């Protein structure tokens, strides 16, 4: 039996726009492909969804607060939405699940984008004002704040590859955006600590395990550049890990195990990343790890194999304190639509958004219950 440390956090992760439904933001107005519509209607069904998480013996849950709901117009806060998320947090607490709250997960209010979003010289101030409002509201309920989800992924899809709003293709802008987000994070870090010195504040960073000749350059550019920019402003590191990459990935045939999205499954990669992240000298939470697997053929082993390597890292003295599987339920897989299935629980989009736990969720619930593999 591989035991995990006492008080280890076990959970799942979601993000507002990908599951809630009924959100008006920069994506919902970007064309049909980007409009989540009613999504999983998690906005109205969060209690039911948290019951499912609870039945998986989770003691924590990661979700995001949608900035566009809270501040739909510049400087005007929507009290009804603030109450909504209070109820969300209370519903978690009632079930004994620690909330890990993300404040920015790719999606933006329309007014902010009209001002050039993160490229605006005052972007950090706008974000800080939203963060301050939120933290003042929930300071007694929330300890763990993830200010920014995957700045690198956002900058790349939205400003370099042109896949996501605002569909730019500029290396220069993508670098500027990273800087803007780093600024916003630092200001938020300070304001959160001013309001509640006991808070734990960090970001989630999507890291790829690289192999081969381009490894050192890619690791710096993709994995560590942003983390270095905010180095002294984090109480923990949030690691999102999905796949490894090598120069041979351009070949049409992939060797080894892959997910429905052709992402290379490489559990040992998480161990290698944890070893390097140790250098930041902060506790680490795995804030996302998962795969698209509609048939649920690989998910159970995927979880077990990644956890084995995480356990090995812990044995080696790396301070890993939690694991959040992406995702609790199937959801809008960004520009890829609702096709890819990342959920431990299936959503039947044809049948009233019925929730159907996949067999792997049983396996995960056993692990969480035993705090062991």
Q: 71, 137, 150, 288: which one is catalytic?
A: 150
- State in angstroms the smallest separation of the CB of 206 from ligand BGC: 5
Q: How many residues does the chain have?
A: 373
Residue of 238, 326, 345, 361 that binds ligand BGC (CB under 6 A): 326
- Closer residue to ligand BGC in complex, CB, 137/150: 150
Minimum separation from the CB atom of position 96 to ligand BGC (A): 25
The residue (of 4 and 154) whose beta carbon lies closer to ligand BGC is 154
Binder among 30, 110, 153, 372 for ligand BGC (CB under 6 A): 153
Tell which one of 12, 25, 64, 149 touches ligand BGC (CB under 6 A): 149
H or E element at residue 276: helix 267-277
- Least Å from the CB of residue 146 to ligand BGC: 10
Residue 187 or 325 having the CB closest to ligand BGC? 325
Q: Which of 12, 15, 158, 223 binds ligand BGC (CB under 6 A)?
A: 15
Catalytic residue status for 83:
no
CB of 176 to ligand BGC, least distance (A): 21
Q: Does 20 bind ligand BGC (CB under 6 A)?
A: no
Q: What is the total count of residues that contact ligand BGC (CB under 6 A)?
A: 12
Write the burial class of residue 85 (CB in 10 Å: 0-12 exposed, 13-18 middle, 19+ buried). buried
Residue with tokens 């763990």: 144
Minimum distance of ligand BGC from residue 370's CB (angstroms): 27
Q: Which stretch binds ligand BGC (CB under 6 A): 146-154, 221-229, 231-239, 296-304?
A: 146-154
Given candidates 39, 177, 181, 206, which one binds ligand BGC under the rule CB under 6 A?
206
* Min separation Cβ 147 and ligand BGC, Å: 14
Question: Residue by residue, what is the 3-state secondary structure of the chain?
Answer: CCECCCCCEEEEECCHHHHCCCCCCCCCCCCHHHCCCCCCCHHHHHHHHHHHHHHCCCCEEEEECCHHHHCCECCECCHHHHHHHHHHHHHHHHCCCEEEEECCCCCCCHHHHHCCHHHCCCHHHHHHHHHHHHHHHHCCCCCEEEEEECHHHHHHHHHHCCCCCCCCCCHHHHHHHHHHHHHHHHHHHHHHHHHCCCCEEEEEEEEEEECCCCHHHHHHHHHHHHHHHCCCCCCEEEEEEEEEECHHHHCCCCCCCECCCCCECCHHHHHHHHHHHHHHCCCEEEEEECCCCCCCCCHHHHHHHHHHHHHHHHHCCCCEEEEEEECCECCCCHHHCCCCCCCCEEEECCCCCEEEECHHHHHHHHHHHHCEC
Binding segment for ligand BGC (CB under 6 A), chosen from 148-156, 179-187, 231-239, 360-368, is 148-156
Tell which positions 268-307 bind ligand BGC, by CB under 6 A.
Answer: 288
Which of 49, 128, 150, 330 binds ligand BGC (CB under 6 A)? It is 150
Continuous segment of H or E residues that includes residue 187? helix 171-195
- Does 333 help bind ligand BGC (rule: CB under 6 A)? yes
Does residue 240 interact with ligand BGC by CB under 6 A? yes
Minimum distance from residue 53 beta carbon to ligand BGC (Å)? 17
Q: Mind telling me the catalytic residues?
A: 150
| Contact set with ligand BGC (CB under 6 A) | 15, 18, 149-150, 153, 206, 240, 288, 326, 333-334, 342
């Amino acid at each position: 039996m591989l035991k995990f440390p006492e008080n280890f956090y076990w959970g799942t992760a979601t993000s507002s726009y990908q599951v809630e439904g009924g959100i008006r933001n920069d994506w919902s107005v970007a064309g049909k492909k980007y409009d989540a519509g009613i999504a999983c209607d998690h906005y109205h069904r969060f209690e039911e969804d948290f019951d499912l998480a609870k039945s998986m013996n989770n003691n924590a849950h990661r979700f995001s607060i949608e900035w566009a709901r809270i501040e739909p117009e510049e400087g005007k806060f929507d009290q009804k939405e603030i109450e909504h998320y209070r109820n969300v947090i209370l519903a978690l607490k009632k079930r004994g699940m620690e909330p890990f709250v993300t404040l920015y997960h790719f999606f933006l209010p329309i007014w902010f984008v009209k001002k050039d979003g993160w490229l605006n010289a005052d972007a950090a101030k706008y974000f800080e004002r939203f963060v301050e409002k939120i933290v003042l509201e929930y300071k007694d309920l929330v300890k763990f704040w993830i200010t920014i989800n995957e700045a690198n992924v956002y900058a790349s899809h939205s400003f370099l590859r042109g896949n996501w709003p605002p569909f730019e293709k500029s290396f220069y802008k993508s670098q500027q955006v990273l800087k803007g987000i780093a600024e916003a994070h630092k200001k938020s870090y300070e304001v959160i600590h001013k309001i509640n010195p006991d808070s734990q504040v960090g970001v989630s960073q999507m890291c790829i395990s690289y192999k081969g000749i381009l490894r050192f350059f890619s690791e710096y550019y993709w994995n560590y550049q942003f983390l270095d920019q905010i180095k002294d402003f984090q109480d923990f590191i949030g690691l999102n890990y999905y796949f490894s990459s090598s120069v041979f990935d351009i070949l049409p045939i992939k060797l080894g195990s892959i997910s429905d999205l052709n992402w290379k499954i490489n559990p040992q990669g998480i161990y290698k990343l944890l070893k390097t992240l140790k250098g930041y000298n902060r506790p680490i939470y795995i804030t996302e790890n998962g795969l698209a697997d509609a048939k649920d053929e690989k998910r159970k082993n995927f979880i077990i194999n990644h956890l084995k390597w995480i356990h090995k890292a812990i044995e080696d003295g790396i301070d890993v304190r939690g694991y959040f599987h992406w995702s609790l339920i199937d959801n809008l897989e960004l520009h890829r639509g609702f096709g890819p299935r990342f959920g431990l629980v299936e959503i039947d989009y044809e049948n009233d958004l019925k929730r159907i736990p996949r067999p792997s969720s049983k396996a995960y619930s056993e692990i969480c219950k035993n705090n062991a593999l």
